[in-house]
Structure formats: C-alpha cells, structure tokens
Structure 1
Amino acid sequence: MNSTFKVKPGTLVAYSGERYIVVELQTLDTALCRRISSNETVVLACADLQAADSQELGSAAQPQRPELATIPDDVWKLASSQMEVIRRLHEVGRYKRTREQVREAAATLGKSQQTIYRWLKEFEADETIAIFLPKERADKGGSRLSDEVELVVEEAMKRHLLKREASTLKSVHADVVKECGQRGLQPPGLTLIRRRYLAIPEKVRVAKRQGSKVAKERFTPLRGSFPGADHPLDVIQIDHTPVDLIIVDEVYRKPIGRPTLTIAIDVCTRVLMGFNLWLEAPGAASVGLCLSHAMLAKEAWLSERGIDATWPCYGRPRKIHTDNAKEFRGTVLERACQTYGIDLEQRPRGAANYGGHVERGFRTFMRKAHTLPGTTFSNTRSKYDYDSSGKAIMTLKEFEKWFAIYITKVYHHDFHTGIQNTPLARFQEGLLGTDDKPGIGLPERFVDEERLKLDFLPFIDRTVQQYGVRWDHVHYNSDILRSRICERDPKNINEARTFIFRRDPRDVSVIYFWDPDLKSYHEIPYAYLGRPPASLWEVRAAVREQNARGKNNVDENSIFEGIAEMREIEVNAARDTKSARRNEERRRSVDKKKKNAKKDAPEMKTKPVGPEAKAISEPIDLDEEIIMPFDDIDVG
C-alpha cells in the first residue's frame, strides 16, 4: 500500500463508507465528486477523503516498509544509489527518455531493462526509497501488459505520432501488431493504443508535433527566482531564529524569555508550509517537528487551537534547503528525507543569498512581532529604553495562536512584490493552474500521519533485558517487550538482538518501540508508572546535578528525586527568577500536550497498563496571595 494518495480528477476515493470518483478540483480545499452507487455529484472537503483501497481492505494485512533505522548501511546505500539513478531517469520524462538511456541505467545498476521499467512505473506512483528496499513478499501480480509489449507500444508511438509528420493511431496499431508478431508476443488492441496515447502529457504531445517553443509558451508555469523552484513544493527552505518577543508563563504571567521559531517556507510561492515554537535551543527534534507540521494537512491542528481559518498548504517537498548547522546534517533527518523521496541540500558555505527567502520571511514575521507588547525589537538601538520584560503579556500558547492567525488570515493574503501576487493565490495557481497555465495538481496526503511524525524523531538501538529497556538512566517496560527479553539476533545467534526505539524530547515518559515482525510502533511507558512526565532537558539536568555532587553512579530514583527537588525550587522561585519560570513553562506545555495527545490521538495497538502517572511534587498553596492575570503589567 502506498504511503500517500493524491486527490485529482479521476481518482477513486472513499467518504463515509461510500466510493466516489473525483470529477474536478474546485478549490484547494474542496473537490466535486460523483457517488458511484447513485451517480449523484456532491462537493466534498479534500481533508475528509480517503484512498478507496485503504477502506476496502480494512484490517487486511498490508505490506509495509521496514523501520528506517533497522536497514543495514550497505542495504541503505545500495537502495539510495538505485533510487538516484531511477529518479534522474524519471525526471527525463516517460516519453522523452530513450532506449539507450534505459540500457545505460540497467548497466549501471546491474539490472535488466525490464527491472528498470518496473522500477520507473512504481516510482511514478510512490516516489520513496521503499521501492528499492528488500521485499518480504512478492508483488501482487495484477494484470497488465508485459514490459516487452509496453516497450513496443512506446517505440511505435514515437515513430508515428510524436513527431511533426504525425501519422494515425491505426498506423501505430498496425506497426505494433507487426512487431509483436515478429517477437512472438500477444499484441494489444486499438483501444489500448488510444488510451496509451491520451495518457501522454499534452505538453509532450504539443512539443513533439508543434515544437518546443509552442509547448513552452502554452504550458510552462511562471518561473521562480530560485534555481529549480518553478512550482509549489519544488524547494522548501527551513531555518531557526529567536523570536523578537518576551513571553510570560501561564501561572504568574511573568517573563520567561524568548522562544525559538523554526519555519519551513515554500520558495516558489512564499507560503509558510509549517512552523514550530518551543523554549529549547534548536536541534534535530525541532527540525523534525517543523517538517512534519509542514507536510501534513492542518485542519485538525487549527481546530484544536480554535482557529477559524484555512491553511491548505501541505505535501511532500521535492527538496529541502537548509544552512550548514549540525541539526540539519544528522542521520535521522537524512534517512527520513530519503525515505520520503526528499532531497536534502545544504547551501554553499559563504553563500548566504541562497537562504534569502527564509531570511526575508523571518524579517517580515519579526516586523509584525515588533508591534506586540514585550517585543525586544531587532536591536538595542531600536529598543531605546523600552522595558520588554515589563511589557510582556503573551504566553507561548497565546503567541502560537496569534502567529497562526497572522499567517492564515494576513500574511497568506497580503500582496508580495517578489511574486507579484499573494502567497496563497500563487500557491493555488501553481496547483490548480490558470486559463493558460497548467497546474501540478493537489499534493499527496499521507495515509499514516503518526508514522511520519515518528520517522523524524530521534532513535536509538537497545536490547531488551528482564527489566525492560533503559535510555538515559530511565527504565521503560510493557507486556509487548516480554517476548523480546534476551532475544538473539536471527542473523548471528552469538549476539543479542537490538531493537529501534524513538522518543519525543519534550516528553520522555513514553518511548516508541518498533516491532520488526508486526511492522508497527507501540507505546512503551515508564517501568514505574508513578513517575511524573518529564522533558529530556530535565532528566539531563538532574544527571548533571548528581554528578556535580560527586555521585558518579546515577540511578533512576536519584534522577526523579532531583527533578522533584528542582521543580519545588522552581515553583518557589518562579515569581522572581526568569529561568525558573522558563523551566516550569517547559514542563507545563509538555503536560498539556500529553493530555491532548491522549484525548485526540488514535488508539495505539498496545496501550500502557496501570494508573495514570502522578506528579511527585506537592500541590502549591497560593491562598496567601491571589495573583490575577495582567495585574502588574503596564500596557500604556
């Protein structure tokens, strides 16, 4: 089963248990569909449509790609090199590439030409590395023309139709019948020849029969100024910056510092594909969270925050462009991008102009942030004697909502001089086309959104012991791990078998175990369910504190005792100390996200057993002084 599906005219989709055919795309959010059972046409939201085969097959076993981190390096390198050759051949175009190019690709990869044609066909449907990874079961073997007959048909159409002196379909069919007869093959009918010809992109047909200049004038979309960014999702630039704003905590409304903003901006259209805000320094996790937000549809995300707006920007980019920071050069990001068929490219050193689009985006967003109470402005000269901390009024959650409203209701609809249009209008033109320019169609939607999010999170290899699994001094266990205790490596019985685990650094109370047999993730909670949720930052801070006290053998009990002591100190000092309030706000945001995730997330295959985790620290008594929001903030 493909990892994505695309809503486009002619696609078979499912909605509320019934099957529909997409007739046409009306907007970025809606499609006109015809119900197969009654031939009734209705307008449906694209976000509500599903791939028809995913509903029809239901709970039937589906072939799934392996976990990224379980693939051996030699297999990964081989698959990557194969995908690169096929990608270059695919970009030439089905009806522009020659038999010689296919022969060269086959010789380079040591495969038959039939295998190259099969890979090309599969790559057109699902541009990911999964096609080239070892399969655990054979292909389903649906009825289709053999590769040899396909080749005969393509060559005949090139000789008779794809040229200035074009002949007729009957001439093509007669040539195909003759050639197949000489090779001992079963020839296809005239109807199939006609379908194959109409399947050739109109731009290719016009170029071959009327000339490339005519085709270019009629079909080529407006070009962007960045190399290769001719269409939406061709190139996305991603980067971080501290926000020019002091935020406050949610309890005392006191300043806790500046958050870090990570954004992903589409170079061709300038729409903001996604962003991430948090209080930690930028790292691989923040990049992964931003990318998953950029690639996934955002209807549910907006609804959770009570934002009445549309943000129809999603999809898999062809290329992600970054600077040379270390968080953009890690194995997790590299493998995840390769898995989803995304080129990861760092800008040349010393060539800051290559990141101009994202930098200009930051300047635009920060100028808007400079209008908020608590802004730090862009420099001290602009700030003068403005008391940023004293004027600050917005929490991280409030600023996230404010920023999302600004993007969806202002920035996307504001005229941009660089593209001579608004970002959202340019994005829509690129996808749906105009009267004289074709669009590329709506992007694919991801079938398994949770899997995509996990693919971009950090991972580690661990064996399963009698106590479960230990990661950064913290123990985890669940019933599903019992059968894996002291399991031997099936490829080498003299070694213990290792398994892949992933985690979200914002909340390490749960890690995710990849079951290599079931080909799915399972939540693994703390081994001791009474532990409070904690961030990775808190765990490592507690370890550093224990080491500073001369305790080299740090155990889990001392870590959580240290976390409880740190939290008690932070709560007592929160009214006076900015860094303490910042740490408390980190923990509070993690707790809220955990509750929302448990409430809204789909049911996992394996659920933690036992009572809910309870906090160690005692409740805070605030009866002595009731603090009302905004009491001590001067907004004049």
Structure 2
Amino acid sequence: MNLPRYGGIMMSNSGFTEKRYHHRLDRGRIILQKGNIYLNREDGEQYELVDYMDEPSQLLVRNLNTRTTKVVSIHQLENFKMNERTDLSVDLTAISNEYWEKAQQKYEAIKPLLGMDQHRPYAVKARAEDVGVNPRTLYRWLQAYNSIGSIAGLVDQKRGWQQGNSRLTPEQDKLIVQVINEFYLHKQRPTTEQTIREIRRRCKIEKVESPSKETIRIRILHISEEERLRKRGQREKARNKFKPKPNSFPDADYPLSVVQIDHTPVDLIIVDSKYRKPIGRPFLTVAIDIYSRMIVGYYLSLDAPSVTSVAMCIARGILPKERLLLDLGLQGSEWNAFGYPVKVHVDNGPDFQALDLSKSCSAHGIHLEFRPMGRPEYGGHIERVIGTFMKEVHSLAGTTFSNIKERDSYDSEKEAIMTLDEFEKWLVHYIVNVYHKRVHSALGISPEQKWKIGIFGDENEVGCGYPQLPVDEQTLLLDFLPSITRTIQHNGVTIDGLRYYDVALNMYISDSDESGKSKEFLFRRDPRNISKIWFYDPKLKRYFPIPFANQAMPEMSIWEYREVRSRIANKGDKYINEQQVLDGLTEMREMVAESAQRTKKARRQAERQKMHKASKPIIETKVETKAVVPVVVTSNLLALDDESLSFGEVD
C-alpha cells in the first residue's frame, strides 16, 4: 500500500512512520516561487508553479508531462532539485564555535541585501565597500545563504568541524577590541582597511603577531548596525531606524518579519479529566506575528515555562496547522499562519537565553533578538494580545480573574469545570474563529485579512509571497530538542543515573581520541518521555533511538523521574539504582491514584502523568519482528514537556 507523505514523513492512519533511524539531517527550505519546478508528493509528477490562488494555501501548477494545470495544496509540493550541502548533514553541536562565528559575520555582511537589493548591482557594490570585501565575495555569500535559506549555508565547507574556540591569542584579541572601540567606532568613521592597517601598526609596536585581514574583517562585521551607526557619529539615523514608535515595531513590514513570544499563567483553574476536581492553573506560551497580529504558534502545559516550551512554540509556529486542528476536533477551521520567521523577539528571561535555543534558531535562519532593558514598548504587542486572551478567559467558569478585587467573593475552584484538553480546544477555536477574524483596532481590518494582504498584496502593498516551509519536519524538531553529551561504556550510556542501550552504540563502546581521553557523543532527549533518547551517529550522520537498558522500566517524564529521586533521597538512600526508581515510581503512582480525590496537588500530578502519556514523545519507536523497525511520530508533533520543573504549585 502506498502511504501519503506529509512534510517529508511517511504517514499512515495511526500517525507518522519512518525507518528505525532518522534519515539524513536536512535544513533546506521549500521556497514557493513562480516558474520553479516541484515534485507533487501525491502523484510523483513534476509541476511548474504557475500562480498563487486567492484561497489560502492553494497554488495553480502545470504538469510538465501532460501540460495540464490544476490547483493543489502548498503542502503537496516538495523541492525537485536543490543545491545540497551534504557536509551540513551534521548535528549543530558538531560545528565549532569558530566556524559558526565566521558564518554569523558573513550573515551580518549580507543581511541588508537579503531583500530585493541582492538583485541590484549598485546596492551590492555599496555594501561591499561598507564592509571591506569584494562584491564577488558578497555574491558568493548570498548564493550560499539562499541555497539553504539560513545561516547554515554560510558555514565554511571543510572536511569536518572540530570543537574549539578562536585561534587568536589573548594579546591579539585584546588589541583588536581596543582598536575597534577607540579607532573604528569613532565619529571620523574610518574604513575597514584603515582599521586593519591601524591594528597591524599597533601589533608591530607591541610586538604581537598580526592577525589576518579576514579575522579582523570578521570581528568588525560582528558589530551590530545599530552600534556602528550610533558610535560612528550617526546617532539620529540609528534612533530613527531602530527605536520603536507608538503602535509600531522596527522592520515589521511583512508577515513573519518579526514574531514576538512570551509566557503567562492562564487566569483559569482547570480540573482533572477523571474526577473533574480542580488542579490549578496551566501555563501558556504564545507567538504573534507583529505585522498582521496573527497568532502563529502556542504551547500549553501544566508545567512552568522553560527553554523547551519556547522551542516547541517556535517549531509549532513554523509547521502547518492542519493536523493540529483535526486532532482538536476543529474540522472546517482554518489556520494558515506558518513558515519561518525572520526575527523572533523575546524578553531577557533565562528560558529565552539558552545557548542551544540561540544556535537552533540560527541554524534555521531565525534571528533571536532580546528586548532592550528598560524598553517596555518592545513587548507591547505580545502583552496586549495575552491581555486580550485573558479577558476572554475571564468569561469562563473557574476563572481567577486578574486580581483579587475583580475576583471578589467568586470561588474559582468551586466553579472550575474545564480540563486541559477542553481548554486547549476552546483556546484554539477562539484564536482561529474569533481573534483572527475580528477587526483589530490598530490595523482597521482583521489579522486574517492583514496576513492575506501581506502574502498576496493589494493595490497599496506588494505581497511577499508564500512563507517558506521546512523540507524535513523531523530535522526541525530534533534541532530544537535539548542536547546532552556522554561517553559510551560496555553497559551503554548513562544519563541522570538511567542506563540506555541499543546495538547502534556497539561500535563506539569505550571509544577514545588520539590523546587517550574518552570520547563524548551527542544525545537528544524528549523531556516528556525519557524512556528513550536519540543518539547521533557521527559516522553515519543519523539519529538512532536508544531505549532503557532495563526493559522493565516504564515510560516516564523527566518531571516524574526527578520527583521519584527526591522521594528516595528523602528516605536517606545515598545510592539510587534502577530498581529503586522502578519501585518508587510504582509506589508514587499508586499513592497519586489513591489520593487524587482528596488533594489538588495529587490530582495535578495525576493529570500531568496522564497528559505526558497521552501526548507521547515527538518520535517513538514501534517494536516489530522485522529487521527494520519503523518509528512512529504522533499526530501531536509538538506535545513536549518542559525542562524546568522545580517550580511550586500555582493556585
């Protein structure tokens, strides 16, 4: 039987299936442009994109064989030919900081040209003069960037990458910083070449080996445009370009140009699904497109916000929403906001500043930008939409309202009636059928209409065209999972005291480097279900699922595991083995079941356990007797748990 494909993943009625391992990592994009040739996943034929349709997510295409035209969904098409970089089929952690920094500097050099200016020779020449490189170099960097659609295309093509830092000595680094601050960032505005000569002059005086011209250029390119303008005597220009104005946001000129993300506890007490008794407030992470005010993604959880909830919100925003709506029982509803954001704007919380998150965003062409300190206007859009949502929530039974005065004598827990699943369905229904369709006061039209104008254009505005989609959804999701490095021993790999083993590890057991030091390998873990981890094979450049070595161990979330370890430690046991964890988990679940009717905390714990089990991990191995074991990806692709689970209960 031929199974339909969805986003590069084989799909059956039970979900998504693949081979036992994840295929080659592919961070390419599907760029929908008129005249381009694509492969139709449904019939395997090649089609030319003829025109965009007024109906969202629909395209007019021409069959290259029969020359007949028809209308297809954008999600049926995949790239026919790509300028592939097989050397980039590696995990992000395999690219050293030095190579990554160089790629970022190249990106800063071409960033102003990534719109129409890249097709204007005078603009490329002017930018080349600004950054001190040959125009041909900029053209080469633009071609490399566009071949992948992200900063990953700018990583130098070498035989391989090794972890490491810059080769500059501390003396060289200090001297470069001094000259840039004192000489280059000056209102006289010296050129890059003059700065290079000044650094070499200072090196000669101080008897320090002079760094290469390319190294100095890269360091200068690392300076943000705002800082360059402000410190080189162009403060007014920097202020006009980068300071937000009332009811506006810098550079939010088209759909997905700027997306804002923030968290909030929901002003609603929810109940567990079994006893229908209160278990506290859930947490919501939401992402809004500033240009259109469309909601592009969200993440709802019983656990406090963390870097995982941010990452999953971003990934959900990029992916199409058809299956999400079907899973929630909202057939007939439309949510056509999808695609890669250019910039994601967040506050300065630690969950947003994680290095893994920043690198994951960069690898997929997303610029992660933090709200300037003391500038609350930068967060106004997301805060207003969260406030709008909470006002609607205040009409639901069980609301906590926004303050004690509003609540008055209202008993939120007594009035609570909605489970987490029911609230999620209500929330998405409100987003797609009310908020997106209602006239927005700042826009004068609905977010849905504004999005459509941004995509297709009208008599006053030129549309930007359809957003780009990921070639491979699993690469996107794996890139955003938390990563861990460990050595591989004869009994497998141990993470947080839990042992994992599979034959995929055998060839790396007790592996060491040239100095005899044990090698560490990369693993990624789904916090919601830690019964398996994903091992990145550095030679095959594939991910393999590695289950618990002890097959008697049940599925559990990181939250449950930490709770069990805490209980065991509180009993005075210094050494914790797997049997203790198994016994402790069984005991804890039995206690939760017995006390669920009596205490809110226990019911919340039981509901977490149910939610984690029902949602399942992103990627799950289905055990079969055949040599090749398929992998099942659940329909709720982004239902992950959070990493930071040490927060107290929220009443």
Q: TM-score range by the shorter chain?
A: 0.7 to 0.9
2:456 and 2:113 map into 1 onto residues whose CA distance is: 26
| Residues 407-439 of structure 1, C-alpha deviations (whole Å, 9 max, x = no match) | 111111010011111001101100111134210
Q: Aligned in 2, Cα 1:344/1:575: closer, same or farther, shift over 3 Å?
A: same
Shift, 1:79, TM fit: 2.4
Given the alignment of the two structures, is residue 5 of structure 1 paired with residue 30 of structure 2, yes or no? yes
Shift, 1:285, TM fit: 0.7
Given the alignment of the two structures, is residue 352 of structure 1 paired with residue 376 of structure 2, yes or no? yes
Match of 1:97 among 119, 123, 135: 123
State the one-letter code of the partner of 1:330. Answer: A
- Whether the 8 Å CA contact 1:258–1:279 is kept in 2: the answer is yes
Given the alignment of the two structures, is residue 310 of structure 1 paired with residue 310 of structure 2, yes or no? no
- Whether the 8 Å CA contact 1:106–1:116 is kept in 2: the answer is no
1:255-404 superposed matches below 5 A: 255-308=278-331, 309-404=333-428
Partner of 1:32: 60
SS in 2 for 1:592: helix
- Which range is displaced more, 591-600 or 565-574? 591-600
Match of 1:20 among 47, 64, 78: 47
1:111-130 superposed matches below 5 A: 114-130=136-152
State the one-letter code of the partner of 1:533. Answer: E
Given the alignment of the two structures, is residue 586 of structure 1 paired with residue 608 of structure 2, yes or no? yes
SS in 2 for 1:494: coil
Gaps of 5+ in 1: 139-222, 610-636
- Whether the 8 Å CA contact 1:231–1:268 is kept in 2: the answer is yes
- Whether the 8 Å CA contact 2:150–2:363 is kept in 1: the answer is yes
2:311 and 2:71 map into 1 onto residues whose CA distance is: 34
State the one-letter code of the partner of 1:40. Answer: T
SS in 1 for 2:395: coil
State the one-letter code of the partner of 1:17. Answer: G
Q: Aligned in 2, Cα 1:403/1:599: closer, same or farther, shift over 3 Å?
A: farther
Match of 1:433 among 449, 452, 457: 457
Match of 2:559 among 531, 537, 547: 537
Partner of 1:146: none
Gaps of 5+ in 2: 1-25, 161-245, 632-651
Q: Aligned in 2, Cα 1:383/1:606: closer, same or farther, shift over 3 Å?
A: farther
Match of 1:571 among 584, 587, 593: 593
Report which of the two structures shows the higher radius of gyration computed on alpha carbons.
1
- Whether the 8 Å CA contact 2:530–2:558 is kept in 1: the answer is yes
SS in 2 for 1:93: helix
Q: Aligned in 2, Cα 1:117/1:424: closer, same or farther, shift over 3 Å?
A: same
Match of 2:77 among 49, 55, 59: 49
- Whether the 8 Å CA contact 1:246–1:392 is kept in 2: the answer is yes
Partner of 1:409: 433
Match of 2:260 among 217, 234, 237: 237
Shift, 1:348, TM fit: 1.4
Partner of 1:527: 549
- Whether the 8 Å CA contact 1:106–1:113 is kept in 2: the answer is no
- Which range is displaced more, 127-136 or 236-245? 127-136
State the one-letter code of the partner of 1:29. Answer: S
Q: Aligned in 2, Cα 1:590/1:499: closer, same or farther, shift over 3 Å?
A: same
- Matched positions, count: 513
1:127-166 superposed matches below 5 A: 127-135=149-157
Q: Aligned in 2, Cα 1:425/1:392: closer, same or farther, shift over 3 Å?
A: same
Q: Aligned in 2, Cα 1:555/1:608: closer, same or farther, shift over 3 Å?
A: farther
Shift, 1:103, TM fit: 5.4
1:200-219 superposed matches below 5 A: none
| TM-score relative to the length of structure 2 | 0.75
Q: Aligned in 2, Cα 1:131/1:535: closer, same or farther, shift over 3 Å?
A: same
State the one-letter code of the partner of 1:14. Answer: L
Shift, 1:356, TM fit: 0.6
Shift, 1:2, TM fit: 5.9
| Residues 59-111 of structure 1, C-alpha deviations (whole Å, 9 max, x = no match) | x995543211222222222222232223245455331424353256464xxxx
RMSD: 2.6
- Whether the 8 Å CA contact 2:524–2:535 is kept in 1: the answer is yes
1:55-66 superposed matches below 5 A: 64-66=88-90
The structure showing larger relative contact order (alpha-carbon pairs under 8 Å, at least 6 residues apart) is 2
| Residues 113-135 of structure 1, C-alpha deviations (whole Å, 9 max, x = no match) | 54432111222343322222243
- Whether the 8 Å CA contact 2:398–2:416 is kept in 1: the answer is yes
Shift, 1:584, TM fit: 1.1
Partner of 1:470: 494
| TM-score relative to the length of structure 1 | 0.76
State the one-letter code of the partner of 2:366. Answer: I
State the one-letter code of the partner of 2:77. Answer: L
| Residues 198-256 of structure 1, C-alpha deviations (whole Å, 9 max, x = no match) | xxxxxxxxxxxxxxxxxxxxxxxxx9711111111111110000011111111111111
Q: Aligned in 2, Cα 1:2/1:77: closer, same or farther, shift over 3 Å?
A: closer
Partner of 2:520: 498
Match of 1:457 among 461, 481, 484: 481
Q: Aligned in 2, Cα 1:378/1:352: closer, same or farther, shift over 3 Å?
A: same
Partner of 1:448: 472
- Whether the 8 Å CA contact 1:47–1:299 is kept in 2: the answer is no
Partner of 1:215: none
Shift, 1:44, TM fit: 0.7
SS in 2 for 1:14: strand
Shift, 1:513, TM fit: 1.2
- Which range is displaced more, 232-241 or 92-101? 92-101
